[in-house]
């Protein structure tokens, strides 16, 4: 079994890095705070006696291999250490640090793997600063050119490639340099299912599709006091209609569709001026590709109607689009078996969040292990998973990795 | 008659001051750009041979008086030269520069007034940077303590008093230092009424009430992919509901109610995080005080219902509240008579916008003269009034002022 208190200590230590004076945790990809987190991870990788490597998109690897295994495909454990704004400490970090702990435990136990075992921390999984999300693993899996990804312009106007160079994490390895034998990710559920059913282990068999767009509505700025209601072309009001449309549609959907508007801006942004422009993001998800396409089509149709009805102009820009993913049945089976062996109940389930595993599934057998999230809260400082669940999840990971590398 | 081309030249000159590299005009109260505009106005006041004075809230005066008239109440012409963001050139500036032109014309014509005549440019009429709007005239009329107004914190975190000192316009006169005999303001209509009826002069007999509030909605940040729709406490979605509620209510109102949401913010403002907080402004107006109170009450009631239905917390903060104003019937009559004398049609009307005259009406007889706005557009770079209308309005002002100072 893994060294529980060591894992928990590392999680708390990493969670202290990148807090603002008010105590909020924000380690956006390739920021100064991310550099501090990365430096800590590299130090732990070396302390564990592993080889450290960084590729061109800034993905960090800690590799355990015998000299004779140089050209063998590793079993890869991965996740990310970048965070959202005002984040919790578990999202991503738990999976990376548990991966490191599993490798240390196997080494300390004298386990002799038949192939390398490595842990990866992928760049910009959250997608908060640069789109798309899961960028590091997407590039690693060959789904996006490194050069194109490095040219991404962030919400703050920064360029990812320049930022990675600035913080010293523009590595030299070519993304994809180690083709994995298998990929396993351990992650908090970030949703309410496991906790509400009192089940400690989720064997994630699929992951829903993700559609990200930016919508821009152009109306006409005019005086808030003198412009009669019927004469307005209010971009802000039109944006509000879209938000309520998306909510009403998702809430009444027969499918498990979700829809979120997380960012919005009005221009000129003055109390007594009718907004001439509104821009906002739309995040649509569905485990079924047909259904996700139907949601996208319904939005398109609504935007066309709305533009006509309100006399505004509406344009959309694609920020990310990932189809649903089905994970490797054999690894999902290993997760279930490992849980059973340890006397833990488990449940096959769908991931609502995007994860690096969804990209890695393009190049090797992959799956995810979930542990419960209290109240389903994530992307929030109140994100929490009880310590016994964190340790149990890492032990299931240990057993699955040992099976894959035996 | 006034010197039309001189007036038009001054309007264009002032309209060139405070443009950004992209050509957008923004001279927010007490900003660097406002300083440049104020400096130009002071130069023109001196060039016209008038006494320049600045009071503690930064209101600028150009005063024409004989030594014997030192203690006499002046006929005051006024408006403002601060602008909204990405503004037109007429709003406010037209009234100040026409006032200056009227005084020059009367002097050049050898007119001997029975009392002083002065022109005023009031600080922060727009209210875009500091609330409330019409601040300089409100303080001048004794409706707000100068000390309190000077402590106002702007949307950019600046403090008005510090900014006025920094740009050199923290004057020494006590606001209210000249109690006016009468106050007249010439302004573009900023609405569609005069143009649509092809009438060049509006004799403004009343002005609608203005209610400004800031609404803050607190929900719970959570993951956009994993949080089922019914479990969300989405502050952004709740804000959108308020916007559509206000719009639907105003558009179906039996009264000429208007409602506008011009500013909005979501937190944490990330594409895949459900907003934990939404803040937005509400601008409600109505010419009838009872009706305005009914609109405010309806909003309050809706916010209470919404908070219960959505599981969010909603608080409101008052930013400005002005009751409707009825102007001086005698001056309104002088405006109509002056228009008739010059062969111009006129129309008694309501002002939809707030104006400094509404504050000055608290301390002296006051009224407003409107000229048409093409397409009713204002608070927008396309704000336009044809030159003959600008000149006609200034000539009506000339006649009214001559009548009041005869
Ligand atoms: N796990 C996670 O929060 N990933 C970020 C991508 C997403 O929005 O699902
Ligand atoms: N005239 C004008 O635009 N005043 C600003 C105050 C208001 O919002 O009405």
Question: Could you list the pLDDT tens digit for every one of the 406 residues in chain B?
Answer: 999 999 999 999 999 999 999 999 999 999 999 999 999 999 999 999 999 999 999 999 999 999 999 899 999 999 999 999 999 999 999 999 999 999 999 999 999 999 999 999 999 999 999 999 999 999 999 999 999 999 999 999 999 999 999 999 999 999 999 999 999 999 999 999 999 999 999 999 999 999 999 999 999 999 999 999 999 999 999 999 999 999 999 999 999 999 999 999 999 999 999 999 999 999 999 999 999 999 999 999 999 999 999 999 999 999 999 999 999 999 999 999 999 999 999 999 999 999 999 999 999 999 999 999 999 999 999 999 999 999 999 999 999 999 999 9
Distance B402 CA to ligand 2 centre (A): 27
Return the residue in B194, B224, B319, B375 with the most chain A beta carbons within 10 A, the one to mutate for interface testing: B224
CB contact under 8 A, B266 and A262: yes
**Ligand with the closest atom to the CA of A134:** 1
Binding-site annotation, residues of A: 80, 91, 126, 187, 379
Pick from B176, B224, B205, B170: nearest CA to B334 = B205
Give residue A205's pLDDT: 98
CB contact under 8 A, B281 and A271: yes
User: Å from A238 to nearest chain B CA?
Assistant: 9
Pick from B118, B44, B64, B48: nearest CA to B364 = B118
Q: Give residue A231's pLDDT band: very low, low, confident or very high (50, 70, 90).
A: very high
Nearest CA to ligand 2 atom 7: B354
Residues A264 and B71: their CA atoms lie apart, in Å, by 55
Q: Do A380 and B221 touch, CB atoms closer than 8 A?
A: yes
Binding-site annotation, residues of B for Zn(2+): 80, 91, 126, 187, 379
Contact list in B for residue A350 (CB cut-off 8 A) is none
Distance B24 CA to ligand 2 centre (A): 19
Task: Quote the pTM value.
Answer: 0.90
Contact list in B for residue A269 (CB cut-off 8 A) is 85, 262-264
DSSP B402: H
Q: Is B390 helix (H, G, I), strand (E, B) or coil?
A: helix
The answer for residues whose C-beta is within 8 angstroms of residue A58's C-beta and 6 or more apart is A30, A123, A124, A136, A164, A169, A170, A171
Give residue B92's pLDDT: 98
Summarize the confidence of residues A372-385 as an average pLDDT: 94
Phi and psi (nearest 5°) for B209?
-70, 150
The answer for residues whose C-beta is within 8 angstroms of residue B256's C-beta and 6 or more apart is A228, B208, B286, B287, B350
Binding-site annotation, residues of A for Zn(2+): 80, 91, 126, 187, 379
Q: Which residues pair with A60 in a beta bridge?
A: A54, A121
Strands B313-322 and B209-218: antiparallel
Which ligand 2 atom is at minimum distance from the Cα of A225? 9
Task: For chain B, say whether A85 makes contact (Cβ under 8 Å).
Answer: yes
Give residue A219's pLDDT: 98
> What's the longest Cα–Cα distance across chain B?
80
How does DSSP assign B79-97, residue by residue? E-----TT--S-TTHHHHH
Count other Cβ atoms within 10 Å, centred on residue B150. 22
**Ligand with the closest atom to the CA of B273:** 1
CB contact under 8 A, B270 and A376: no
The dihedral built from the CA positions of residue A79, A81, A85 and A89, taken in this order, carries a sign that is: positive
**Closest to A190 (Cβ–Cβ): which among B223, B259, B351?**
B223
CB-side exposure of A32: number of CA atoms within 13 Å?
Answer: 2
Give residue B358's pLDDT: 98
Q: Give residue A389's pLDDT band: very low, low, confident or very high (50, 70, 90).
A: very high
User: Å from A350 to nearest chain B CA?
Assistant: 10
* pLDDT tens string B269-321: 999 999 999 999 999 999 999 999 999 999 999 999 999 999 999 999 999 99
Return the residue in A83, A226, A249, A319 with the most chain B beta carbons within 10 A, the one to mutate for interface testing: A226
Distance A354 CA to ligand 1 centre (A): 4
Is residue B19 packed enough to be buried (19+ CB in 10 Å), middle (13-18) or exposed (0-12)?
middle
Give residue B366's pLDDT: 98
CB contact under 8 A, B226 and A259: no
Phi and psi (nearest 5°) for B102?
-60, -45
CA B273 to chain centre: 38
Residues B160 and B58: their CA atoms lie apart, in Å, by 10
Give residue B279's pLDDT: 98
The residues in A 202-241 lying below 8 A from B, measured between CB atoms, are: 208, 210, 212, 220-231, 234, 236-237, 239-241
Phi and psi (nearest 5°) for A353?
-95, 155
b vs e for A349-377, b when ≥16 Cβ sit within 10 Å of the residue's Cβ? Answer: bbbbbbbbbbbbbebbbbbbbbbbbebbb
**Closest to A262 (Cβ–Cβ): which among B260, B274, B281?**
B274
The dihedral built from the CA positions of residue B383, B386, B389 and B395, taken in this order, carries a sign that is: positive
User: Å from B86 to nearest chain A CA?
Assistant: 7
Q: What totals of helices (H) and strands (E) does chain B contain, helices first?
A: 12, 16
Q: Do A254 and A318 touch, CB atoms closer than 8 A?
A: no
Chain A residue whose CA is closest to B355: A225
- To the nearest whole number, what is the mean pLDDT of chain A? 97
Give residue B106's pLDDT: 98
Q: Is B335 helix (H, G, I), strand (E, B) or coil?
A: helix
Pick from A395, A351, A382, A399: nearest CA to A194 = A351
Contact list in A for residue B231 (CB cut-off 8 A) is 192, 376
Give residue B387's pLDDT: 98
Could you tell me if the CB of B91 is within 6 A of ligand 2?
Answer: yes
Phi and psi (nearest 5°) for A203?
-100, 100
Strands B346-351 and A264-267: unpaired
Pick from B246, B208, B194: nearest CA to B324 = B208
How does DSSP assign A68-92, residue by residue? GGTTSPPEEEEE-----TT--S-TT
Phi and psi (nearest 5°) for A168?
80, 25
* pLDDT tens string A241-283: 999 999 999 999 999 999 999 999 999 999 999 999 999 999 9
Q: Do B358 and B175 touch, CB atoms closer than 8 A?
A: no
**Ligand with the closest atom to the CA of A272:** 2
Could you tell me if the CB of A135 is within 6 A of ligand 1?
Answer: no
Return the residue in A25, A271, A357 with the most chain B beta carbons within 10 A, the one to mutate for interface testing: A271
Could you tell me if the CB of A133 is within 6 A of ligand 1?
Answer: yes
Chain A residue whose CA is closest to B274: A262
What stretches of B265-345 show up as alpha helix (H) in DSSP? 289-310, 329-341
Give residue A9's pLDDT: 98
Give residue B65's pLDDT: 96
Pick from A240, A241, A222: nearest CA to A232 = A222
Distance A377 CA to ligand 1 centre (A): 13
CA A77 to chain centre: 15
Contact list in A for residue B245 (CB cut-off 8 A) is none
Q: Alpha-carbon Rg of chain B, whole angstroms?
A: 22
CA A207 to chain centre: 12
Distance A84 CA to ligand 1 centre (A): 9
* pLDDT tens string A53-90: 999 999 999 999 999 998 999 999 999 999 999 999 99
Task: For chain B, say whether A127 makes contact (Cβ under 8 Å).
Answer: yes
Residues A356 and A89: their CA atoms lie apart, in Å, by 18
And the tokens for B198? Answer: 């092809």
Q: Is A125 helix (H, G, I), strand (E, B) or coil?
A: coil
Which ligand 2 atom is at minimum distance from the Cα of A224? 8
Residues B240 and B280: their CA atoms lie apart, in Å, by 10
Which ligand 2 atom is at minimum distance from the Cα of A271? 8
Residues B319 and B214: their CA atoms lie apart, in Å, by 7
What stretches of B21-151 show up as alpha helix (H) in DSSP? 32-47, 93-108, 135-140, 146-150
* pLDDT tens string B192-201: 999 999 999 9
**Ligand with the closest atom to the CA of B373:** 2
Give residue A176's pLDDT: 98
Residues A369 and A77: their CA atoms lie apart, in Å, by 11
Q: How many CB pairs under 8 A join A and B?
A: 259
């Amino acid at each position: 079994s893994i060294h529980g208190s060591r894992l928990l200590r590392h999680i708390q230590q990493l969670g202290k890095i990148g807090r603002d004076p008010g105590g909020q945790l924000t380690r956006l990809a390739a920021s100064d705070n991310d550099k501090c987190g990365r430096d800590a991870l590299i130090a732990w990788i070396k302390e564990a006696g592993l080889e450290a490597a960084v590729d061109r998109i800034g993905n960090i690897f800690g590799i355990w291999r015998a000299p004779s295994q140089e050209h063998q495909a590793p079993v890869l454990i991965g996740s990310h250490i970048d965070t959202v704004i005002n984040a919790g400490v578990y999202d991503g970090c738990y999976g990376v640090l548990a991966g490191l702990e599993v490798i240390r435990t196997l080494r300390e136990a004298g386990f002799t793997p038949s192939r390398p075992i490595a842990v990866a921390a992928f760049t910009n999984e959250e997608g908060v600063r640069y789109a798309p999300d899961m960028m590091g693993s997407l590039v690693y899996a060959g789904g996006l050119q490194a050069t194109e990804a490095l040219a991404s312009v962030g919400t703050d106007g920064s360029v990812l490639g320049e930022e990675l160079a600035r913080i010293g994490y523009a590595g030299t390895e070519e993304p994809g340099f180690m083709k994995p034998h298998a990929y396993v990710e351990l992650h908090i559920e970030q949703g309410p299912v496991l906790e509400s059913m009192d089940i400690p282990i989720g064997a994630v068999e699929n992951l829903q599709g993700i559609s990200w767009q930016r919508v821009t509505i152009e109306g006409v700025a005019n005086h808030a006091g003198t412009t009669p209601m019927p004469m307005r072309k209010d971009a802000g009001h039109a944006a509000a209609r879209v938000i309520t449309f998306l909510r009403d549609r998702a809430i009444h959907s027969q499918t498990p569709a979700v829809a979120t508007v997380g960012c919005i801006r009005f221009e000129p942004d003055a109390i007594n001026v009718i907004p001439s422009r509104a821009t906002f993001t739309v995040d649509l998800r569905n485990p079924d590709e047909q259904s996700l396409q139907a949601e996208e089509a319904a939005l398109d149709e609504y935007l066309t109607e709305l533009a006509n009805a309100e006399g505004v102009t509406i344009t959309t820009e694609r920020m990310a689009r990932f189809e649903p993913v089905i994970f490797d049945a054999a690894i999902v089976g290993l997760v279930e078996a490992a849980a059973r062996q340890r006397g833990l109940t488990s449940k096959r389930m769908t991931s609502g969040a995007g994860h690096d595993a969804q990209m890695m599934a393009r190049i090797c057998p992959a799956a995810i292990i979930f542990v419960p999230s209290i109240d389903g809260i994530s992307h929030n400082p109140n994100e929490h998973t009880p310590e016994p669940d964190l340790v149990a999840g890492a032990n299931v990971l240990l057993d699955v990795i040992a099976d894959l590398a035996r």
